[in-house]
Amino acid sequence: MGASLTSPEINEKSTPLLVERYLPIPRRDSGEFWTESRIQHIRHLATTGKPMMVWDRCKSETNRILDRLFFCKELEDASLGDRGWEVPDEISVSTSICYGGLELSHPLYLGDMSFGALSGVPNVAIARAADITGTLAGIGEGGLHPEVGKCRRIAVQWASARFGLDLDVLRKGMAVVIKIGQGAKPGIGGHLPGVKVVEIISQTRRIPVGVDAISPAPHHDIYSIEDLEQRILALKEATGRPVLVKVAATNYIPYIASGVARMGADGIIIDGQGAGTGAAPSVVRDNVGIPIELAVAAADEMLRREELRDGFTIIAAGRVSSAEDAAKLTALGADVASIGTAALIAMGCIMIHKCHLGFCPAVITNKITDNPKKVLSLDTATRWVVNLIGGWSAELKLILERLGLKSVKELRGRRDLLVGVGLSDSSLRILGVRGVSGKN
């Protein structure tokens, strides 16, 4: 099974070793957002499909602005002692949402990881998991992997290089994503060296084997908001599908969001600083862009003020690590949370930050060859992602239940449910959340 997936022309030369187990989590010697307990939590969800906690205990380990935002209810629960952690047997809250004509049974988007950044099996696992769970998977820029192309709940990406795109491919998904930027490297292009353009990459990108694949930094047909409108309308004209625009969270995100809404897009995917990447110049990854929580709050605020919020979808991406993260982003104004890195962790990523070297111990981002020695088990990987979504959704329901809400839709924009602890006055103002000083 695995071999046929890495190469559509079944190669019988060797049977690769199937990877079906998690690796031990290595010890860390420097700062990391994806701490051991976050990885353990995701592994619990991915293996059991069951919730592990109501309130995210991992947030005390890191210092994101989101980590210092609490649902007031949690603080009340904490004062109640252990009773706050009781999980009721029956929960009747809804996590389904609908946007741009798309129904999602969970407010999750599986974010835009390309074939090339991932090594094939993970791409297929994510797409199949989206079909099984009724969510949506963005396929990224590497063209359409033949097995991914068999899945229904995918969003085909139109990026600056237009790899592997034609009219038929664009019409294959349920939506089209115009990728303008990504959180890990706003304003930076990509370059896959010719030696890595092997047969299967060549087929999906429709470029010859051995020729470098370059993604220009900007879209050279989109230099203005009017140009973007032109592209949105052209893609709608060509496909009849809803169009989402993916951007990085940067200085002008509220204006960009309102521009995107005004230009007729069905939604925006905002990718925050700190989001995952297969490879990015460190200097850009570490110094460009703003965190998703500020971006979502600012964009939502502007869209409301401009009366553009209704019927427009905000998908929040970048370091979304738990149902509570997603719930807080929803309370700040998002409709859907995007999970990328969390899905990789569910498939066995141990966060050693070596994707760009082509050697991945978890065989998720390893170098793509036509004859791999070791591949991730597709069935296992798919199950892990499906379980992650199930467990995640269950935790989200628990949170909604604690908040006394009937559905995730009721949570959107409920900043009043949040409180900031030890945040600067400027952050609190952007978030539109009241604050208390000090922590613990």
How far are the Cα atoms of 44, 69, 124, 141, 154 from residue 378, in angstroms, in the given order?
Answer: 19, 37, 8, 21, 17
Q: Shortest Cβ distance from residue 13 to other proteins (Å)? A: 23
Across-strand partners of 156? 176
> Can you tell me the distance from the alpha carbon of 58 to that of 139, in angstroms, rounded to the nearest whole number?
29
Q: Token match 């033949």: residue?
A: 146
Q: Shortest Cβ distance from residue 143 to other proteins (Å)? A: 11
**Nearest CB to other proteins, comparing residues 34 and 70:** 34
> Can you tell me the distance from the alpha carbon of 138 to that of 390, in angstroms, rounded to the nearest whole number?
19
Nearest one of 430, 417, 232 to 312, comparing CA atoms: 232
**Nearest CB to other proteins, comparing residues 94 and 369:** 369
58 secondary structure, DSSP code: G
Q: Shortest Cβ distance from residue 317 to other proteins (Å)? A: 11
| H runs (alpha helix) in 26-101 | 36-48, 72-79
**Nearest CB to other proteins, comparing residues 174 and 213:** 213
Amino acid making up residue 36:
E
Cβ atoms 64, 57 nearer than 8 A: no
**Nearest CB to other proteins, comparing residues 124 and 260:** 260
Q: Shortest Cβ distance from residue 342 to other proteins (Å)? A: 11
> Can you tell me the distance from the alpha carbon of 394 to that of 400, in angstroms, rounded to the nearest whole number?
10
Nearest one of 149, 153, 157, 154 to 177, comparing CA atoms: 157
> Can you tell me the distance from the alpha carbon of 127 to that of 311, in angstroms, rounded to the nearest whole number?
26
Cβ atoms 182, 112 nearer than 8 A: yes
> Can you tell me the distance from the alpha carbon of 355 to that of 367, in angstroms, rounded to the nearest whole number?
9
Q: Shortest Cβ distance from residue 438 to other proteins (Å)? A: 15
**Nearest CB to other proteins, comparing residues 88 and 218:** 218
Q: State whether residue 154 is helix, strand or coil.
A: strand
Amino acid making up residue 65:
I
> Can you tell me the distance from the alpha carbon of 61 to that of 68, in angstroms, rounded to the nearest whole number?
11
Amino acid making up residue 219:
H
Q: Shortest Cβ distance from residue 352 to other proteins (Å)? A: 8
Q: Shortest Cβ distance from residue 65 to other proteins (Å)? A: 6
**Nearest CB to other proteins, comparing residues 12 and 168:** 168
Phi–psi pair at 354, nearest 5 degrees: -125, 15
Across-strand partners of 436? 421
How far are the Cα atoms of 50, 52, 135, 322 from residue 45, in angstroms, in the given order?
Answer: 6, 7, 17, 10
**Nearest CB to other proteins, comparing residues 6 and 427:** 427
**Nearest CB to other proteins, comparing residues 87 and 352:** 352
166-128-369 Cα angle (round to 5): 70
Q: Shortest Cβ distance from residue 148 to other proteins (Å)? A: 14
Q: Shortest Cβ distance from residue 228 to other proteins (Å)? A: 6
Q: Shortest Cβ distance from residue 150 to other proteins (Å)? A: 21
**Nearest CB to other proteins, comparing residues 123 and 330:** 123
**Nearest CB to other proteins, comparing residues 91 and 211:** 211
Nearest one of 385, 276, 264, 263 to 320, comparing CA atoms: 276
Q: Shortest Cβ distance from residue 422 to other proteins (Å)? A: 10
Report the Cα–Cα distance between both ends of the chain, in Å, rounded. 51
**Nearest CB to other proteins, comparing residues 170 and 314:** 170
